[in-house]
């Protein structure tokens, strides 16, 4: 609507954003209830921990204040939430949402109102780039889907030396579809063959039927780009049904829960691509794991880490911008270079995607073991 | 071979549906209330069992009993607080309240412990895979099928052969007339909810053992599916819930096995609608015409 | 009376519920302007016969004809539009609707304004609604219900509810009116008034009436002919005097001495 | 045996019974007549514990039962045959009768009473396994009475037992009511059919708009002009 | 003259509504209403349309439908296909949304002829889920990730649709056709026996109700930038159902009031993200426990204004009664 646009121009011009005084307001538009509540909540935990740490010293003499809204895991509510954060709370930037779709629901508002949005985990390419054009105010902390899929395909072909792969996709997730697409492309280009392609929907619990038909296609390898909640069950049920081939997935697997869900034995002979490994001796990572343990009394998962990193990514930009002005923050975000964070070393490219290295881990007796590191 | 494996898969899935559907159908049969909170009581049962095992370090049987007892109490509390005051209100008002109770249980659970899932310890029940001619049957799924059958028989016995069962049926037809027979209507309805919820609690623990993963919203879909199963068999009819659950499980497995796994839930609902249109009283129900 | 073709005719009708043969081989005729009684023990199938005549149940055997036209298999609303309307043994009013609206609903079949004209509030809508209202008030006047026309039907006392049922059935403008125990639950005084009312509307609207009743003072008092059902079959037919002295009827229904 | 002492009963704001008092002595048939909506059903429901009186007392065999739960009152020997029969439609005739004896534990006694009920109502024995909902009105009425007798009541409350019944059945029912009474059960009978009711009752009360307006022996009331006018259809 | 008298209330409300439109349009144009309030207003209007359309099916016709989000979804997607895939103007999208949803209503209306009460409820719930799952599996409309839709919903559109919905449904209800529907709700067998074509009116209610749910879908799709199947799950159906029941079954103004209030409550609760759903569900339970007939019962707001007149009328009736 034209009315909305006219109006928004004046609003962002009129105030500096982020509130005056000694606080900078940051919005968090997250999935705190509804279908993927656990992602939103994990991110919120990571962000809150980071804010606590950051506020010990403050940024340019100011403290960060988090204003959370719950988008109920719905796109429309994500739009509502973004509008409220921008026009009522006048935040300087928004963190969220966890999923690509809910982030996409805010893109136009961010651009119209000139407030930056950083999604910690929206991995779909279209979040930052639409029709070949960069969404000026949208950033992300995670790497994009094609990268992980490509890395996995090369690993399967070259290191595991398999030729016949099956793919099992979470059809409710752009993330899963994106990984699968690039995996298939690279795998077939490298001489491999996809013998079975099946799908499931998030929150399913019984995959035996699908796995039975995958098994009967006799694959040598299963690519399983999903989130740990389902992956844990799928791996367990696959092994029960005697599907003992190597299984590989992406960062969505990374959670201590996976080991509990699938069981140590079932997880042998599985691999993932990841941002980081919580078992990584890197002091930066161990410090985070320890701090997180202390605050929440549990081990951090990938979403915790990404939420945490998003907060630091933003804080760094604010510091460099020297101001809480959303447009300046946006510029600073775009110029981020070699920032050391938990999930890797950040450099934001021209498409607003972080250039980070990926690592490949293998599960052995319930432990992640470092395999290789792949640079972009 | 694949077909037989799919049947086996379907029966184990169906036994879980049946297990939840038994309690559902009983409560509906007596109180004529679509208790949307049933799936959430199932979830609570699952968590009670989980915490009993991980924090109190008890074995399977005590955990199961504890879950059943807590759910029975929870069921009675829900009935007393949320449904009893609405006995004479419009059906739809009670339905809305049931939805409210369901949301409340889910989000209070999330508030208290977060939305993240838990994994049931795998050591609770022995899990051995029996392989017969290439078909894998897990000992747990046999156990679940057996449990559902036993509970079905038990429930059928309670409702049709015992005094409390007769009281339940009388209350379901005409509560005021039942009072004139000397039946304590409030206690009878409480007992109904207690038994139904205890069954849900048992189903929760068994579900946790079989599928490992439990989380605060886990009750929604199985609850809905169990209701479909109950309707399929003829709602209020206890053996109907059993057969409906098994049938639903097998159909879903076959649909997934054919490569249409994304349509699985859709097929469940299509079947539901077809059944409702062509045999509204379900497979086991009698079609009684309204006497004018 | 045999010369004329009957207005309503049931020919050998029967119906079965599961194993129970609720009616079999029932043949009866109603001629224009007659007031006929239908009596019989409880469970004889009287209400069931009404249900067959009005299309609520479809007969498993036989034919039902109105004015020479077969009604078998028509849905109830079509049969009503063809000219048979009824009251129910257990009152079935539209409880939340006002007394006036209850009667208007029955007149609906005669309304000619379409859904579109009502939505667009075309003149035909206003004309149609006005006509309806006038007609409905006319009926309510006859039944002395105009004083309570804005009350909800469910709030009326029992006697008025019974009368409203009859008023509503009349508003459907039937040729044949079927009354199922109109005097049930009324005391003798009220029953007497009801008898007068039935006689009056019959004259006024040139109705043919078939009524079920257990109150013999009413049945014997106003019916010209009486059919007697027992166990789903007709056991007698004739004038009140004939029926009253029929030994089969006495045995099955009336008991020894008739009051 | 039963003494109702100035009770007031309300439905929300509706004042249905206004200071009603009456007495039923052991062995009597007492009938209560009155126009539609006079409050007869309300009175019976209050006695049997389905409703609570706001004021006043109900004394049964020397103890107050006002406001007690229905099951306590049934246990003390008061059975109520409700208006409109209210049989359990989806249960068989036999199960309905069994429910009548819900609070009893003496198996043999129950068996005897089964026999007794079937003797009173042979029709019910024929239909023993039929669902009560498919019985005709008269059959249902028999079942409702039979069901109440299964509790072996000392006091039987009957609410319009002749409603909707064939003349023959009305006679039968009234005959049976007398038989039941003769075998020692006290009866409080609510009726529209004042004629019949007065012919079998010992005493009677007339209720109008929630108040007792007349009372006396049955023959007194039968002779009363007022009653003749309003309830016996002139003459 | 007589016609004027009867339609006076109608014209007064039309003028009031139009003034409201002009005032809001001016507030938006002048920038007095910021984007947050405009957004809340649009969301409210969409919810009102949904509530009123379901009110016709449940409140008036008594058909217990709890899959209304299915029609909403059909409308949203149909309009998005028109504007985004076929590049047709928004008007075509809105119209297509209504027509497609009405067709869906026709399809689900047919089983409703055979089903009653809880069974119908469950069947419609199933229908809603089938729509969602179908959309999930159609790649043309983006599957699970849905479609991005350009923002086209403007206040004149929102107002026009809202106004049309209320007008059509109110006019339908206050006519012999509406009474026919109510008689079905009250007693279907008796309605049939009184010559009402119950089949026709049940389907008509479904078709009209779903038509407007479809329109709401079009407004929604073009306001919230993106639509995906998960927006149209049974929780959304429950939300709409809650508007209708909370407002009072059978009361159009009740449905409107409840939709407005709950949208405000929901917006307000965004400030309490952790406890949002807990508060929401407690509100729901408490309202049902203490006012099981809903906020308005079966009454309409307008009856509050007529109250004096009605009381006088009552006196007259009383007088007449004693004479008769
Ligand atoms: N829908 C039905 N299903 C099964 N049986 C039925 C049905 N409707 C009627 N019956 C049976 O048909 C028989 C006749 O019933 P009907 O209601 O016609 O009796 P009636 O003559 O009207 O008796 P009453 O005078 O008591 O009203 C009864 O035995 C009844 O149980
Ligand atoms: N559930 C109820 N809610 C409100 N008012 C009621 C209710 N039941 C009865 N009443 C009112 O109480 C008064 C007494 O009713 P009651 O049923 O006791 O009369 P009755 O003498 O048994 O009449 P009938 O001869 O019609 O059976 C009536 O005015 C009636 O409208
Ligand atoms: Mg009858
Ligand atoms: Mg009464």
Return d(Cα E181, Cα E177) in angstroms, integer: 6
Residue E257 to chain A, least CA–CA distance (Å) = 21
- A–B: how many Cβ contacts below 8 A? 94
Return d(Cα B134, Cα C97) in angstroms, integer: 67
Return d(Cα E218, Cα E214) in angstroms, integer: 6
**What's the gap in Å between D11 CA and the centre of ligand 2?**
9
Dihedral pair phi/psi, residue A7, rounded to 5°? -60, -45
Residue B284 near residue B233, CB atoms below 8 Å: yes
Enclosing H/E stretch for A2: helix A2-14
Specify the pairing of strand A247-249 against strand A221-223.
Answer: parallel
* Number of structural domains chain D divides into: 2
Specify the pairing of strand D203-208 against strand D211-217.
Answer: antiparallel
For an interface test with E, give the residue of C86, C103, C123, C147 to mutate (most E CBs within 10 A): C147
Tell which atom from ligand 2 comes closest to the C-alpha of D12: 4
pLDDT reported for residue E311? 34
Residue B105 near residue B41, CB atoms below 8 Å: yes
Q: Is residue D82 part of a domain?
A: no
Q: What integer is the mean pLDDT of E46-69? A: 94
Q: What is the ipTM of this complex?
A: 0.86
Residue C182 near residue C87, CB atoms below 8 Å: yes
Q: Verify that D146 and D167 share a domain, yes or no.
A: no
Q: What is the pLDDT of residues D4-19, one digit of tens each?
A: 999 999 988 888 899 9
pLDDT at A373 over 60: yes
Return d(Cα A262, Cα A232) in angstroms, integer: 4
The 10 Å Cβ neighbour count of residue E318 is: 11
pLDDT at A61 over 90: no
Q: Is residue D83 part of a domain?
A: no
Domain ranges of chain C: 1-83+174-258, 93-172
| Nearest-by-CA chain D residue for C252 | D168
Return d(Cα A196, Cα A177) in angstroms, integer: 15
Q: Verify that D147 and D162 share a domain, yes or no.
A: no
Q: Verify that D70 and D106 share a domain, yes or no.
A: no
pLDDT reported for residue E30? 84
Rounded to a whole number, what is the distance in angstroms from the first to the last CA of chain D? 36
Q: Which residues of D touch B173 (CB under 8 A)?
A: 88-91
Residue D96 to chain C, least CA–CA distance (Å) = 19
Q: Is residue D113 part of a domain?
A: yes
Q: Verify that D160 and D235 share a domain, yes or no.
A: yes
Residue A301 near residue A335, CB atoms below 8 Å: no
pLDDT at A5 over 60: no
E77 — pLDDT class (breaks 50, 70, 90)? very high
CB contact under 8 A, D99 and B181: yes
Q: What integer is the mean pLDDT of A226-254? A: 90
Residue B76 near residue B193, CB atoms below 8 Å: yes
Q: Which residues of A touch E274 (CB under 8 A)?
A: 32, 70
User: Could you tell me if the CB of C22 is within 6 A of ligand 1?
Assistant: yes
pLDDT reported for residue E324? 26
Chains that touch D (3 or more CB pairs under 8 A): B, C
Return d(Cα E231, Cα E210) in angstroms, integer: 17
Residue D130 to chain B, least CA–CA distance (Å) = 14
CB contact under 8 A, B119 and A205: no
- B–D: how many Cβ contacts below 8 A? 67
Q: What integer is the mean pLDDT of E199-206? A: 93
Query: What 3-state DSSP class applies to D177?
Result: helix
Higher pLDDT, residue B250 or A35 = B250
- A–E: how many Cβ contacts below 8 A? 117
Burial of D37 (0-12, 13-18, 19+ CB in 10 A): middle
Whole-model pTM? 0.88
Q: Which residues of B touch D99 (CB under 8 A)?
A: 166-167, 170, 178, 181, 183
CB-closest option in D134, D166, D194 to C41: D166
User: Could you tell me if the CB of D204 is within 6 A of ligand 1?
Assistant: no
Judged by 3 or more CB pairs under 8 A, whether D touches E is no
Q: What integer is the mean pLDDT of A314-320? A: 94
Q: Which residues of B touch E127 (CB under 8 A)?
A: 269, 273
Dihedral over Cα of E217, E218, E222, E223: its sign: negative
pLDDT reported for residue C174? 94
| Nearest-by-CA chain E residue for C55 | E193
Structure tokens at D170: 């009305």
pLDDT at C23 over 50: yes
Residue B250 near residue B268, CB atoms below 8 Å: no
Last residue of a domain, one of D117, D152, D187: D152
Q: Is B289 on the interface with C (CB under 8 A)?
A: yes
- Per DSSP, helices labelled H in chain A are 2-14, 37-57, 75-87, 100-113, 145-155, 174-189, 208-215, 228-240, 256-262, 264-267, 283-296, 302-321, 326-334
Residue B178 to chain A, least CA–CA distance (Å) = 42
Return d(Cα D229, Cα B264) in angstroms, integer: 73
pLDDT reported for residue E310? 36
Specify the pairing of strand D55-60 against strand A63-70.
Answer: unpaired
Q: What is the pLDDT of residues D166-198, one digit of tens each?
A: 788 888 889 999 999 998 999 999 988 888 899
**What's the gap in Å between C228 CA and the centre of ligand 1?**
15
Ligand 2 environment, Cβ below 6 A: C 158, 185; D 11, 14, 16, 34, 36-42, 83, 192
Residue E226 to chain A, least CA–CA distance (Å) = 6
CB contact under 8 A, C214 and D195: no
What one-character-per-residue DSSP string does A309-338 give?
A: HHHHHHHHHHHHHTS--HHHHHHHHHT--S
| Residue to mutate, D13, D38, D48, ligand 2, most ligand atoms under 8 Å from C-beta | D38
Q: Is residue D33 part of a domain?
A: yes
Residue C255 to chain D, least CA–CA distance (Å) = 5
Return d(Cα A72, Cα C61) in angstroms, integer: 60
Q: What is the pLDDT of residues B38-79, one digit of tens each?
A: 999 999 999 999 999 999 999 999 999 999 999 999 999 999
Tell which atom from ligand 1 comes closest to the C-alpha of C17: 4
Say which residue the tokens 């469940």 belong to: B268
Q: Verify that D42 and D112 share a domain, yes or no.
A: no
- Among B112, B114, B104, E39, smallest CA distance to A32 is for B114
E2 — pLDDT class (breaks 50, 70, 90)? low
pLDDT at A10 over 60: no
Ligand nearest to the CA of C38: 1
Judged by 3 or more CB pairs under 8 A, whether A touches D is no
Q: Verify that D184 and D230 share a domain, yes or no.
A: yes
Q: With a CB-CB cutoff of 8 Å, which residues 340-369 of chain A face chain E?
A: none
pLDDT at E111 over 80: no
State the CATH number of the domain containing residue D181.
3.40.50.300
- Per DSSP, helices labelled H in chain E are 2-29, 35-54, 68-80, 90-112, 117-137, 155-173, 176-186, 188-193, 198-221, 234-247, 252-268, 276-290, 301-323
Q: What integer is the mean pLDDT of E27-41? A: 87
Q: Verify that D146 and D160 share a domain, yes or no.
A: no
**What's the gap in Å between D137 CA and the centre of ligand 2?**
22
Q: Verify that D161 and D211 share a domain, yes or no.
A: yes
| Nearest-by-CA chain A residue for E34 | A7
Q: Which residue range(s) make up the domain with D231?
A: 1-77+156-235
CB-closest option in B163, B177, B182 to D88: B177
Judged by 3 or more CB pairs under 8 A, whether B touches E is yes
Q: Verify that D7 and D95 share a domain, yes or no.
A: no
CB contact under 8 A, C186 and D192: yes
Rounded to the nearest 10°, the torsion over CA A170, A173, A176, A180 is 80
Q: Is residue D30 part of a domain?
A: yes
Q: What is the pLDDT of residues B256-282, one digit of tens each?
A: 888 888 888 888 888 888 888 888 788
Q: Taking each helix axis from N to C terminus, what angle separates B38-55 and B220-233, rounded to the nearest 10 degrees?
A: 130
pLDDT reported for residue A376? 67
Q: What is the mean pLDDT of chain A?
A: 87
pLDDT reported for residue A313? 95
Q: What is the pLDDT of residues E249-286, one digit of tens each?
A: 889 999 999 999 999 988 888 778 778 889 889 988 99
Q: Is residue D57 part of a domain?
A: yes
pLDDT reported for residue D45? 94
pLDDT reported for residue B287? 63
**What's the gap in Å between A203 CA and the centre of ligand 1?**
52
Q: What is the pLDDT of residues A164-197, one digit of tens each?
A: 999 999 887 778 888 999 999 999 999 999 999 9
Q: What is the pLDDT of residues A321-370, one digit of tens each?
A: 988 899 999 999 999 999 989 888 889 998 899 888 788 999 999 888 88
Instruction: Sketch out chain E's domains with CATH numbers.
Output: 8-323 (1.10.3470)
For an interface test with B, give the residue of C49, C56, C88, C95 to mutate (most B CBs within 10 A): C56
Q: Which residues of D touch C44 (CB under 8 A)?
A: 136
pLDDT reported for residue D153? 93
Whether domain C1-83+174-258 has CATH 3.10.110.10: no
Q: Which residues of B touch D48 (CB under 8 A)?
A: 180
Give the residue, by CA position, lying nearest to ligand 1 atom 17.
Answer: C47
Instruction: Sketch out chain B's domains with CATH numbers.
Output: 1-120+130-278 (1.10.3470)
CA B227 to mean position of chain CA atoms: 8
**HSE value, Cβ hemisphere, 13 Å, CA-based, for E211:** 17
Query: What 3-state DSSP class applies to A140?
Result: strand
Tell which atom from ligand 2 comes closest to the C-alpha of C157: 31
**HSE value, Cβ hemisphere, 13 Å, CA-based, for C163:** 26
Q: What is the pLDDT of residues A193-216, one digit of tens each?
A: 999 999 998 888 889 999 999 999
Query: Could you tell me how many helices (H) and strands (E) chain D has, helices first?
Result: 10, 10
**What's the gap in Å between E190 CA and the centre of ligand 1?**
18
Least confident residue range of B123-137, E171-185, E258-272: B123-137
Q: Verify that D187 and D209 share a domain, yes or no.
A: yes
Judge if the upstream peptide bond of residue A97 is cis by omega within 30 degrees of 0. Answer: yes
For an interface test with A, give the residue of E34, E231, E273 to mutate (most A CBs within 10 A): E273
pLDDT at C24 over 80: yes
CB-closest option in C81, C97, C115 to E182: C97
Structure tokens at C188: 């003798």
**HSE value, Cβ hemisphere, 13 Å, CA-based, for A140:** 30
User: Could you tell me if the CB of D135 is within 6 A of ligand 1?
Assistant: yes
Contacts for E92 with CB less than 8 Å, ≥ 6 apart: E82, E83
Q: Which residues of E touch B89 (CB under 8 A)?
A: 288, 292-293
CB contact under 8 A, B179 and D49: yes
């Amino acid at each position: 609507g034209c009315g909305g646009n006219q109006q928004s121009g004046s609003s962002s011009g009129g105030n500096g954003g982020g509130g005056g005084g000694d606080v900078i307001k940051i919005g968090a538009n997250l999935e705190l209830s509804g279908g993927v509540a656990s992602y939103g909540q994990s991110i919120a935990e990571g962000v809150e921990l980071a804010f606590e740490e950051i506020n010990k010293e403050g940024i340019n003499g100011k403290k960060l204040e988090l204003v959370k809204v719950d988008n109920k895991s719905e796109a429309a509510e994500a739009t509502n939430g973004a509008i409220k954060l921008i026009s009522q709370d006048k935040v300087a930037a928004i963190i969220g949402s966890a999923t690509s779709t809910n982030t996409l629901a805010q893109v136009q508002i961010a651009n119209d109102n000139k407030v930056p949005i950083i999604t910690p985990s929206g991995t779909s390419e279209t979040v930052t780039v639409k029709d070949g054009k960069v969404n000026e105010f949208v950033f992300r902390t995670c790497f994009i889907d094609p990268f992980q899929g490509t890395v996995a395909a090369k690993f399967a072909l070259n290191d595991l030396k398999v030729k016949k792969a099956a793919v099992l996709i979470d059809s409710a997730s752009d993330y899963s579809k994106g990984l699968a697409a690039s995996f298939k492309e690279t795998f077939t280009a490298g001489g491999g063959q996809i013998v079975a392609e099946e799908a499931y929907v998030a929150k399913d619990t019984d995959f035996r039927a699908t796995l039975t038909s995958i098994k009967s296609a006799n694959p040598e390898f299963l690519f399983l780009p999903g989130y740990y909640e389902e992956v844990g069950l799928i791996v367990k049920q696959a092994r029960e049904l005697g599907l003992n081939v190597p299984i590989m997935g992406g960062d969505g697997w990374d959670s201590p829960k996976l080991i509990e869900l699938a069981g140590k034995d079932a997880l042998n002979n599985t691999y993932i691509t990841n941002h980081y490994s919580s078992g990584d001796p890197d002091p930066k990572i161990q410090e985070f794991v320890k701090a997180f343990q202390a605050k929440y009394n549990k081990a951090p998962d990938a979403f915790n880490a990404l939420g945490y990193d998003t907060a630091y990514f933003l804080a760094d930009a604010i510091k460099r911008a020297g101001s809480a002005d959303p447009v300046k923050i946006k510029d600073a975000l775009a110029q981020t270079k070699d920032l050391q964070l938990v999930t890797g070393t950040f450099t934001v490219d021209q498409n607003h995607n972080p250039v980070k290295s990926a690592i490949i881990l293998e599960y052995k007796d319930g432990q992640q073991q470092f395999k290789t590191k792949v640079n972009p | 071979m694949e077909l037989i494996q799919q049947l086996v898969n379907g029966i184990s899935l169906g036994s879980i549906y049946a297990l939840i559907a038994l309690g559902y159908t009983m409560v509906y049969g007596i109180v004529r209330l679509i208790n949307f909170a049933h799936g959430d009581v199932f979830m609570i049962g699952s968590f009670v069992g989980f915490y009993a095992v991980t924090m109190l370090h008890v074995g399977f049987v005590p955990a199961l009993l504890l879950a059943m007892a807590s759910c029975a109490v929870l069921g009675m509390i829900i009935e007393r607080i949320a449904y009893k005051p609405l006995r004479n209100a419009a059906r739809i008002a009670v339905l809305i309240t049931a939805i409210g109770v369901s949301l409340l249980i889910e989000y209070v659970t999330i508030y208290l412990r977060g939305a993240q899932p838990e994994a049931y310890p795998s050591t609770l029940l022995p899990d051995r895979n029996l392989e017969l001619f290439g078909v894998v049957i897990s000992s747990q799924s046999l156990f679940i099928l057996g449990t559902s059958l036993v509970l079905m028989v038990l429930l059928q016995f309670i409702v049709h052969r015992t005094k409390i069962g007769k009281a339940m049926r009388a209350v379901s037809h005409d509560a005021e007339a039942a009072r004139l027979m000397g039946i304590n209507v409030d206690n009878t309805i409480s007992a109904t909810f207690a038994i139904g919820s205890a069954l849900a609690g048992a189903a929760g623990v068994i579900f946790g053992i079989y599928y490992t993963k439990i989380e605060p919203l886990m009750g929604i879909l199985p609850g809905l599916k169990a209701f479909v199963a109950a309707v399929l068999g003829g709602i209020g009819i206890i053996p109907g819930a059993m057969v409906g659950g098994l049938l639903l499980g097998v159909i879903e497995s076959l649909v997934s096995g054919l490569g249409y796994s994304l349509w699985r839930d859709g097929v469940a609902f299509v079947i539901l609608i077809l059944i409702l249109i062509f045999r509204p009283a379900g497979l086991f129900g009698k079609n009684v015409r309204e006497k004018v | 009376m045999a010369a004329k073709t009957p207005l309503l005719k049931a020919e050998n009708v029967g119906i079965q519920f599961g194993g129970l043969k609720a009616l079999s081989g029932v043949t009866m005729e109603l001629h224009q302007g007659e007031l006929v009684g239908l009596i019989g023990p409880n469970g004889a199938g009287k209400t069931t016969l009404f249900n067959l005549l009005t299309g609520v149940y479809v007969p498993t055997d036989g034919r039902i004809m109105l004015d020479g036209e077969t009604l078998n298999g028509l849905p109830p609303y079509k049969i009503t539009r063809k000219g048979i309307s009824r009251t129910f043994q257990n009152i079935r009013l539209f409880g939340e609707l006002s007394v006036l609206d209850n009667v208007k609903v029955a007149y609906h079949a005669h309304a000619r304004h379409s859904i579109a004209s009502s939505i667009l509030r075309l003149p035909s809508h206003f004309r149609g609604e006005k006509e309806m209202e006038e007609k409905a008030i006319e009926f309510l006047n006859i039944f002395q219900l105009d004083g309570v026309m804005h009350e909800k039907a469910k709030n009326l006392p029992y006697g008025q509810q019974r009368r409203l049922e009859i008023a509503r059935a009349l508003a459907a403008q039937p040729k044949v009116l079927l009354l199922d125990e109109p005097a049930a639950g009324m005391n003798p005084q009220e029953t007497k008034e009801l008898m007068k009312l039935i006689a009056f509307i019959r004259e006024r609207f040139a109705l043919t009436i078939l009524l079920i009743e257990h109150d013999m003072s009413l049945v014997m008092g106003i019916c010209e002919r009486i059919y007697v059902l027992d166990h789903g079959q007709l056991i007698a037919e004739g004038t009140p005097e004939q029926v009253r002295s029929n030994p089969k009827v006495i045995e099955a229904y009336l008991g020894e001495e008739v009051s | 045996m039963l003494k109702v002492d100035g009770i007031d009963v309300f439905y929300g704001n509706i004042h249905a019974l206004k200071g009603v008092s009456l007495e039923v002595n052991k062995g009597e048939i007492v009938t209560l007549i009155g126009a539609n909506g006079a409050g007869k059903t309300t009175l019976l429901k209050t006695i049997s514990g389905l409703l609570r009186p706001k004021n006043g007392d109900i004394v049964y065999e020397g103890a107050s039962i006002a406001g007690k739960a229905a099951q306590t009152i049934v246990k003390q020997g008061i059975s109520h045959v409700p208006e409109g029969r209210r049989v359990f439609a989806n249960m068989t005739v036999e199960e309905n009768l069994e429910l009548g004896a819900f609070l009893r534990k003496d198996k043999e006694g129950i068996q005897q009473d089964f026999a007794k009920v079937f003797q009173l109502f042979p029709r019910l024995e024929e239909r023993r396994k039929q669902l009560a909902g498919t019985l005709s009105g008269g059959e249902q009425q028999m079942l409702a009475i039979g069901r109440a007798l299964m509790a072996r009541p000392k006091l039987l409350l009957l609410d319009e037992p002749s409603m909707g019944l064939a003349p023959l059945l009305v006679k039968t029912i009234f005959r049976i009511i007398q038989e039941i009474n003769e075998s020692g059960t006290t009866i409080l009978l609510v009726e529209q059919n004042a004629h019949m009711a007065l012919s079998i009752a010992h005493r009677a009360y007339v209720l109008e708009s929630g108040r007792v307006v007349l009372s006396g022996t049955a023959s007194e009331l039968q002779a009363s002009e007022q009653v003749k006018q309003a309830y016996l259809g002139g003459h | 003259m007589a016609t004027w008298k009867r339609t006076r209330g109608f014209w007064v409300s039309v003028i009031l509504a139009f003034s409201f439109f002009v005032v809001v349009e001016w507030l938006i144009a002048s920038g007095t209403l910021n984007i947050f309030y405009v957004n809340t207003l649009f969301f409210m209007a969409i919810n009102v349309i949904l509530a009123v359309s379901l009110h016709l099916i449940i409140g008036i016709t008594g058909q217990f439908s709890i899959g209304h989000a299915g029609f909403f979804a059909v409308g949203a997607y149909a309009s998005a296909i028109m504007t985004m895939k076929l590049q047709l103007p928004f008007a075509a999208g809105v119209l297509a949304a209504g027509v497609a949803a009405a067709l869906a209503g026709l399809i689900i209306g047919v089983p409703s002829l055979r089903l009653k009460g809880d069974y119908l409820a469950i069947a419609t719930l199933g229908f809603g889920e089938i729509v969602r799952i179908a959309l999930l599996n159609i790649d043309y409309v983006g599957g699970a990730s849905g479609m991005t839709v350009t923002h086209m919903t403007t206040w004149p559109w929102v107002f026009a649709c809202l106004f049309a919905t209320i007008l059509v449904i109110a006019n339908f209800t206050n006519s012999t056709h509406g009474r026919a529907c109510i008689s079905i709700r009250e007693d279907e067998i008796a309605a049939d026996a009184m010559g009402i074509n119950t089949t026709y009116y049940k389907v008509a209610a479904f078709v009209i109700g779903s038509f407007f749910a479809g329109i709401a879908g079009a407004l929604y799709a073009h306001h919230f930038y993106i639509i995906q199947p998960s927006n149209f799950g049974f929780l959304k159906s429950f939300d709409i159902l809650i508007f209708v029941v909370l407002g009072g079954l059978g009361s159009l103004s009740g449905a409107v009031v409840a939709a407005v209030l709950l949208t405000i409550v929901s917006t307000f609760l965004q400030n309490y993200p952790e406890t949002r759903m807990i508060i929401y569900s407690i509100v729901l339970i408490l309202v049902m426990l203490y006012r099981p007939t809903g906020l308005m019962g079966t009454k309409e707001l307008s009856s509050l204004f007529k109250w004096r007149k009605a009381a006088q009328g009552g006196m007259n009736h009383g007088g007449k009664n004693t004479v008769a």
